[in-house]
Each structure stands twice: as structure tokens, then as C-alpha cells.
Structure 1
């Protein structure tokens, strides 16, 4: 089992949890919460695969991803109180999800021999699109459209991955370093209240 595969599963798991937690307090409909968790978890990867022409879609080809989403939903339902506290601490699950999906998305794009700029963009799309769908479904302004360092952190992390790949840093180390960079950048921006200036 490759590190990339493990990271994609972890990203799917954390995004599924964030999807359920986002609905908490807005609705007690568990089917709706589960649907939100599912599209949050697979939305970004689906968009990436469609753009790259990668068929069948990863979650259609590998049923493990569906089971991982169900595990995330179960985790969020059983440990809801604890997770809500963690969620308020630096948007934990969103941060982990975007980091894991970015590096996985960049790696998959590179395997299709696209240009490095496109690979970094594909990583960003993989990371943020599920969250955009989630926020739209729960009638909130998607975080992508706020002033937070969010999609830009993913793009920066994607570029770091491409650079380290060019420098022939071992693949597993690259995954860890690039994901850690995204998490650190996002946490630093939240801690220091760093935002983009208003348009």
C-alpha cells in the first residue's frame, strides 16, 4: 500500500468528518449530513479525475473510499462533542483534508504527464472543491470566497511538491514535507490572523 494511497484515504476520512460537523447544529437529518459528508469527501477528487480524463473515477473503481466515508460519518456521529471542540481549534479537519488532498492531487496529475503548473492547480482543485460544495449545500459562503489563506495555501503546497519532485526528493518524503508545509502555512495564517486584503 503506497503512501499516496494512504494519504488519499486519510484525506477522504477527514473531509467526511468535516462534512458531518458542518451540518451539525443546522440540521438533525442524518441522511442529509451523510450526503454532505460524501460530496465533501469525494468532490475534489472527482473534479480532478474529470479534468485529467481519469476513468473510472477513483471512488467508483475502489469501494474502499466509500467505506472510508462511512467510517468518517460514524466517527463524527459517535464522537461529535469531542470533534466539535477539535474543529474549532484551527479548523483541524479542513486543514488536514486540504493538505492530504493537495499532495495526492499533484502526484496523480504528474502521473498523467501534465505540465508542472497544471499539476499544482489540479492539487488545489482536489483540495478545495469538496469544501466549496459542502459550504454551498449548507448555505454558507464557501471558504474559497473569504479572505482566508486557504486555496492559496494549497497552491503554494502544490508548487512545493513540484519543486521537491524536480529536485528528486524521495517521493514519500516529498508527500510528508509538502503536506506539512500546507498545514503549517494554514495554521500560521489562522494564528496570526493573516488574510488577503479586500478586493
Structure 2
């Protein structure tokens, strides 16, 4: 079971590294910029999670995560050499897959550390959202979490699904949590689902 969680976590890091590399390509960054964006996207959320929970930061105890980021970034750059343009949809889908991995794995790691289910949902959401927020800020974009379509909400739903199903079966919980997050996020992108927002009245008041 630990091996399943470990390889799933590495897969999430890889997908988010691809997401960061794709955005760096769209922003015409140099090689250093690519590595920075790929790294903060892949490990930013998990780093904040571990710091808040008082745990050893995961990539400092296992540098395999860093090797994975470098390898994925290089492979993605090589692939991009043959692409003249990357549609924004490709970036959105890659980000959605990364969010699905990290919302679930963030919740899983928090539960395994002995924290309550509620804190697990919060940490799962932070794990999934924070790396992308740093990526977008560094790229001078409005963070996806602040845009119209559902983003953090999908992480809350996925992490909650994981916590609930975890009471019966760990493998099923992993699958349900990821699928719930991914499907809800992709559907929100497709149909532009968003939460209600405050509207300004004609007299200028809220």
C-alpha cells in the first residue's frame, strides 16, 4: 500500500512539473525559468503542507522528487521543440490532473500523520492549490484558483471523498478522491461552472 501511495505521489509531482513547464513555454522563459516554474508547481503545495503540519518537508528526505521534476521538465522541453504552439486547454488539463493527484495525496499524508479528517481536507486543498498559485504569480498570470471556474472547491470535494471512503478501503478512496476532483474540475472548465460572486449595485454599493 505504501508503494502505491509513493508512486501516486511521484506521478502527481510529474504532472504538475509538466504543467509548470508548459506555462514557462507559453511565457517564453529560458531554461532556468522552466526549472523554477516546474519545481514550484510540483512541490510548492506539498512543502507548505509539511511546514504547517510540522513534518519533514518530503523532498528534503527523498531527493527522488527533485530528480523526477528535472527529468520531466527536460523531456517536456524536448517534446515542445516540435510544437509551435501549446493551447491553453492543454495547460488546463495538465493542471486539473495535478490537482486531482495532490488533493487526494495531501489528505492521505495528513491522515497518516495523525490529524483529523477536517484538517486532512484543508491540507489536501492547500497541497493541490498552492503550487499552482506560486506558478501563476511568477508567470504574472491571475492564479487559476482566483478565476471564474471552480478550482479550490473541486479540491475540497475530492479530498472529502477520499476521507469518507478511506474508512472502508484505502485503494478505493484513492481512486474515488482523484476521479471526483478531476471530473469536477474538467466539467467546471468545460461548462464554466463557478461559485456565486458579489455583484456591485448601480449606486456603487455591494
Bigger-Rg structure (1/2):
2
Show structure 1 runs of 4+ deviating over 3 A: none
Whole-Å separation in 1 of the counterparts to 2:180 and 2:84: 26
Structure 2 residue 54 is matched with structure 1 residue 53: yes
Instruction: Specify whether residues 84 and 90 from structure 1 end up closer, same or farther in structure 2 by C-alpha distance, changes over 3 A only.
Output: closer
Q: Which runs of 5+ in 1 are unaligned?
A: none
1:195 Cα offset (Å): 1.5
Cα distance in 2 for partners of 1:181, 1:97 equals: 13
Q: Which runs of 5+ in 2 are unaligned?
A: 199-206
Query: Match of 2:86, SS?
Result: helix
Give the corresponding residue for 2:9: 8
Q: Is the 8 A contact 2:19 2:91 kept in 1?
A: no
Q: Where does residue 204 of structure 2 map in the other structure?
A: none
Question: d(CA) in 1 for partners of 2:134 and 2:18?
Answer: 15
Query: Counterparts of 1:189 and 1:2 in 2: how far apart (Å)?
Result: 32
CA spacing shift, 1:104–1:83, aligned 2, 3 Å = farther
* 8 A contact 1:105–1:126 mirrored in 2: yes
Distance 1:191 1:21 in 2: 20
Asked which structure has the greater RCO (Cα within 8 Å, sep 6+), the reply is 1
Normalised by the length of structure 2, the TM-score is 0.89
Distance 1:83 1:63 in 2: 32
- The CA RMSD measured in Å over matched residues stands at 1.7
**How many residues in Structure 1 have an aligned counterpart in Structure 2?**
195
